[in-house]
Amino acid sequence: MSLLEIQNLKTYFHTRAGTTRAVDDVSFSLEKGEIVGVVGESGSGKSVTCHSILGLLPQPPAKIEGGVVTFDGDELLDMPPPLLRAIRGKRISMVFQDPMSCLNPYLTILDQVAEPILIHEEVTKEEAEQRAIEMMKKVGIRDAEKRARSYPHEFSGGMRQRAMIAMALVTNPDVLLADEPTTALDVTVQARILRLLRDLRDDLGVGVIFVSHDLGVIAEVADRVVVMYQGKVVEQGEVLSIFENPSHPYVKGLLACRPTFETKFRILPTVDDFLDTEEAEDGSITIIERPDVGKRLADLERESETNEADGSDLPDVLLEVTDLKVHFSSGGGFFGKPHEVVKAVDGVNLTARRGQTLGLVGESGCGKTTIGRAILRLVKPTGGSILYDGTKLLEVPPNESLSYRKRMQIIFQDPYASLNPRLTIEQALIEPMTVHGLGADRHERRDRVVALLEEVGLSASHLLRYPHEFSGGQRQRLCVARALALEPEFIVCDECVSAMDVSVQAQVLNLLRELQEKRDLTYLFISHDLSVVKFMSDEVAVMEAGQIVEQGSAEELYRNPKKTYTQELLDAVPRGDLESLQARFKG
C-alpha cells in the first residue's frame, strides 16, 4: 500500500457564476521517499489537488464532492478537524510558492520555524528552537544561529524559501507537499533549491509531491510525473518514459511548445496544433488528437530550415547604446539624510541591428528592465548616449521627441496592468493614432484598428469590449496591437511572456516572430528565461548587477560562454530535454 493514495478526488467550486470542476476524478499515489511531479498549466487543478489533501481550501466556495485520500491507512477527507490538525505540519507538511507572502512578516524566522515542533510535540521552547536552528543549517541557511531572529523581509528570496522548507521539515514529516516552490525564484537559486530537495529526500526519506507548471523543473527533480489538464489527469508515469514517449496529445503539445536550447523551429508548434475537442451529446468533452499534426510539424520544420539559410551579411545597426548609466537616489525627504545612490544601470553598451532581435537576459534586480525604459526615456538616464538611426536620442529637443516616440514602442510583462481598465479596446487603440495624427478621420482609424486586431489574431467583434473581459494571452495581443498602432520599427519586449502558461507563451512568441518578419521589426527582448531568449534572439547580452557581462551571437554565446557568470546561468537552467533526462537516470 502506498504512503499517500488519492483516489477519484473531486473538488468543485460553487460560485454564483456556476460550478467549476477544479479537480475532476483525480487519482495518483506517492510512495515513501519518492518525488512525484504534478504538472499542468494554470487552472489545471494541480494546486487545488494539493490543498484538498490537507483540507486547506476555503469551504465554501470549494467543496470536496467525492473521492478518498488515504495516508498511512487513515482517510483524510472525512477526518475530524482536530485529528487532521495533528497530521498537518507534523506528518504532512507544505511549502508554498511565494515565500515572501507565505511567511508571517510580523514574526521572526525562528518563531515560525520552531512553531510546528512546539505545537505538535511536548518539548521546551529552547529545545524546539535548538532543533529549528539545526534544520535551518541543514537546508543551507548560513549563520543560522545569528540570523534566526531576523524577520522575513530581512532575508533574500532564496533564503526565505529555505526557511519555508526548514519549517516544513522540522517535524520530520513523511510527506512534503511542495506547491510551485521555485516559481518565484531566480534560476540559479532555483537550481540550488531543487538540489536541496533531492538531497533532503535522500537523507530523510520524505515523500514529495512537487507541483509545478514547468516541465523543465519537473524533469530535474521528479521520479514520476502526473500531467493534469482541466481538472483531470491526462497522463502519468515514469518521467523518462513520458518525456521519451508521450501518448496523450496534450502532453505531446506541451512538450513541443516549450522552447529549449535545442529548439530548431522558427515558429513553435502550439498545443492547439496537437489536440482538438469533441463535444458529445450529453455535453461532456473528449480530447482527440488532430489527424494532421504530423504534417503541421513537418511544415514548421521545413520552414525553419529555409529561413536558416540567409543571414550571411549583417543588417545595419539601428540602435547603439554607449556607456548608459541610470542611477536612482533613494531616501532623503524634507529633512533628508544624504541620498543613497542605487546604480541600476552602470555603464552599459549594447547594439541592436535592424530587423533582428537583441536578447537581454539576467536575474531579477540586475537592471535589465531599467535599460529598456531608459532607451524609451521612461526613466531619465544619468549619463551615456543612445544613438538611434543616426540620431542622438538624449539630445533631441522635447518638441521633436514625439516623432521618436512613434518609432519606438514597449510591451510590458503584466498584460492585466498594461491596459487602462476604463477604456474599450477601440478607444485604447484609436487614442495613439489621434495623438499622433495618424489616419484621416475616425472611420479610417477605426478601419486601421480592425486591421490591427486581425493582425494579432483578434477580430472586429472585440472592439467594444473592456480589457477585463479578455484572457491574459489575448490582453498581451492587445498590447502588441496598441504598440503597432503607431507603426514603430523598434519594440522593447519587457518580460512580455513571463507571466504566461507555456501554451499561451508559444502563441505570443509566434505572433512576435511573424510580425517581425512581416514588418521588419527590431526587438529588444528582455527576459529572465534563457530558453525563451535563446529561441527569440539573434544576439544575446547577459547582464549582472547593472553591467553587461558579455554580448554575442545567440548560438555562439550559448555554446561557448566566455564568462563564468554566463556559464553558471546556463548550467542552472532546467533543460527538460531528453538528453539531460537520460543523463540523469542512466549516467
Partner 1 sequence: MLRFIANRFLQGIIVLIALYTITFFLIKAMPGDPFTGEKNIAEETKELMREKYGLNDSVFTQYFLYLKNVFTEGSLGISTSKAHSVNEMIGQSFPVSCVLGITALLIAIAVGVPLGVASAVRQNSWIDYSSMAWAMIGICVPAFTVGPILQIFLAMKLPLFNVAGWSSPRDVVLPAITLGLVTTAYIARLTRSGMLEILSQDYIRTAHAKGLPISRVVMKHALRGGLLPAVAYIGPAFAALISGSFIVETIFQVPGMGQHFVNATKARDPFLLQGVVLFFGLLIVIMNLAADILTGLLNPRVRLTQE
Partner 2 sequence: MNNSTNSDAQREVGNSLWRDAFLRMRKNRLALVSFWLVVLMLAFCFVVAWFCPNPDKIDLDNKFSGPSASHLLGTDQLGRDIFSRTLFGGQISLLVGFVATTVAIGIGIVVGAASGYAGGRTDAIIMRSVDTLFAIPFLVVVIVLQVVIAEWTKNASGWIVENWDWDKKLTSRIANIIPLFIALGLFGWLTLARIVRAQVLSLKEQEFVEAAKALGYTRMRILFRHIIPNTLGPTVVYATLTVPGFIMYEATLSYLGLGVEAPNSSWGILIRDGANFLETEPQLLIIPGLFFSLTLLALNFLGDGLRDALDPKASKD
Q: Select the binding partner of residue 115 from partner 2, partner 1, none (C-beta < 5 to 8 A, by kind).
A: partner 1
* Cα–Cα distance, 34 to 250 (Å, whole number): 25
433-452 binders of partner 2 (CB under 8 A): 435-436
Report the DSSP beta bridge partners of residue 476. Answer: none
Q: Which is nearer to partner 2, 16 or 264 (CB)?
A: 16
Q: Which is nearer to partner 1, 63 or 392 (CB)?
A: 63
Sequence-ordered list of residues with C-beta below 8 angstroms from that of 508, at least 6 positions apart, any chain: 473, 476, 477, 480, 496, 497, 500
Q: Which helix (H) or strand (E) holds 406?
A: helix 401-407
Query: Could you tell me the smallest distance in angstroms from the CB atom of residue 37 to partner 2?
Result: 28
* Cα–Cα distance, 209 to 341 (Å, whole number): 44
User: Residue 508 has which C-alpha cell?
Assistant: 505570443
Q: Which stretch binds partner 2 (CB under 8 A): 70-78, 423-431, 535-543, 553-561?
A: 423-431
Q: Does 242 bind partner 1 (CB under 8 A)?
A: no
CA dihedral 294, 295, 299, 302 (to 10 degrees): 70
Sequence-ordered list of residues with C-beta below 8 angstroms from that of 458, at least 6 positions apart, any chain: 474, 477, 478, 481
DSSP assignment, residue 97?
Answer: S
Q: Which stretch binds partner 2 (CB under 8 A): 14-22, 65-73, 337-345, 360-368?
A: 14-22
Report the DSSP beta bridge partners of residue 36. Answer: 209, 224
Q: Select the binding partner of residue 106 from partner 1, partner 2, none (C-beta < 5 to 8 A, by kind).
A: partner 1
* Cα–Cα distance, 291 to 295 (Å, whole number): 9
Sequence-ordered list of residues with C-beta below 8 angstroms from that of 397, at least 6 positions apart, any chain: none
Please identify which residue in 333, 397, 398, 587 interacts with partner 2, judged by CB under 8 A: 333
Torsion-angle region of residue 43: left (phi > 0), alpha (psi -120 to 50) or beta? left
Query: Could you tell me the smallest distance in angstroms from the CB atom of residue 460 to partner 2?
Result: 11
Torsion-angle region of residue 347: left (phi > 0), alpha (psi -120 to 50) or beta? left
Q: Which is nearer to partner 2, 283 or 421 (CB)?
A: 421
Q: Does 198 bind partner 2 (CB under 8 A)?
A: no
116-145 binders of partner 1 (CB under 8 A): 116, 119-120
Query: Could you tell me the smallest distance in angstroms from the CB atom of residue 22 to partner 2?
Result: 13
Q: Does 333 bind partner 1 (CB under 8 A)?
A: yes
Q: Does 578 bind partner 2 (CB under 8 A)?
A: no
Each residue 68-107 as x (binds partner 1 by CB under 8 A) or -, in order, gives: ----------------xxxxxxx--xx-x-x--xxxxxxx
Chain residues in the site for partner 1 (CB under 8 A): 54, 56, 84-90, 93-94, 96, 98, 101-107, 115-116, 119-120, 151, 153, 164, 167, 331, 333-337
Chain residues in the site for partner 2 (CB under 8 A): 15-17, 61, 333-334, 373, 376, 378, 401-402, 405-406, 408-410, 412-414, 417-424, 427, 431-432, 435-436, 461, 463-466, 468-469, 479, 482, 486
